[in-house]
Amino acid sequence: MAFASFKEVLLDGLKNGYAVGQFNMNNLEFTQAIVEAANEEKSPVILGCSEGAIKYMGIDYTVAMARVAAETAKVPVILHLDHGPSFEYVVKCVRAGFSSIMIDASHYALEQNIELTKRVVDLCHPLGIEVEGELGRIGGTEDDLTVDERDATLALPEEAKRLVEESGIDALAPAIGSAHGVYVGKPELAFGRLQEIRDLLPNTPMVLHGGSGIPDEDIRKAISLGVSKINVNTENQIALTNTIREIFAKDAKVYDPRKYLGPGKAAIKEVVKEKMRLFGSSGRA
Ligand code: G3H
Ligand code: ZN
């Protein structure tokens, strides 16, 4: 199959109360593990790729791997730029063959965020490429913020409405207290804020970043409030790395990469399959 439509897949999730996972590809093993899991779970899937991962793999290798994965898959597969940093970088990814785009202009003031995001939408939509935008600050190194500091980073409902309506994006990633990487303490998602945004934008699929380490009940609640895309990377990275560490601890003489990357890949696949069941996307393709 050719790459699937980002919007179609997300709207089906929104309509039917499930979320599609975006799992980040960091190399060949990730790509294979994610798409094999999707095939076995009969789930649509989004291969996410950040600027850093593209730099690591090379943009042509990235697109080629994702294309082979999509063409051989029996389920919808999307290749999505994750946290696109600039208009120029988006152009590069569109030219290379990405099938959907995230532009992350969340560090700008609202007017500039809308302006840059709309510029990306105006480039992408005529090409049939759909766009995700971001509002507020999703934590990362800042996940030990105090409550007041954290509240100041959350997306504001009125601003969310303006960003969606004035830029024309197809999906919105509002900051609701999640963070990238390993959480310090229990993640506290701002469900009230998510509900307020949802009330203003009932037809817009919402995206939850920093999906690793969020308790299952919070994931289900987020989905019930309109989240139809959930991004996961760190849990897969940990699964791979822990597996390799265990193999090295048991056998210091191992040198064939297939002997540790193979089991590492299988560990990623298990995490992805579990997430697909949790997100409710299993059996939807
Ligand atoms: O954009 C990527 C994600 O938000 C992944 O977050 O590494 O915390 O799972 P995570
Ligand atoms: Zn993210």
Distance 252 CA to ligand 1 centre (A): 32
Q: Is 180 in the pocket of ligand 1 (CB under 6 A)?
A: yes
| φ, ψ (nearest 5 deg) of residue 213 | 85, 5
Q: Give how far the C-alpha of residue 148 lies from the chain's centroid of Cα atoms, to the nearest Å.
A: 27
The CATH superfamily label for domain 6-279 reads: Aldolase class I (3.20.20.70)
pLDDT of 144 higher than 70: no
pLDDT digit string, tens, across residues 172-205: 999 999 999 999 888 999 999 999 999 999 999 9
Q: 107 a known binding residue?
A: no
d(CA 184, CA 175): 17
Ligand 1 atom showing the smallest separation from residue 102 Cα: 1
Nearest-10 Cα torsion for 85, 232, 249, 252: -50
pLDDT digit string, tens, across residues 31-60: 999 999 999 999 999 999 999 999 999 999
Q: Is 237 in the pocket of ligand 1 (CB under 6 A)?
A: no
Contact predicate 230/252, CB 8 Å: no
Determine which one of 12, 60, 82, 251 is catalytic.
82
The reply to whether the predicted model has a pTM over 0.95 is yes
Q: What is the mean pLDDT of residues 6-20?
A: 98
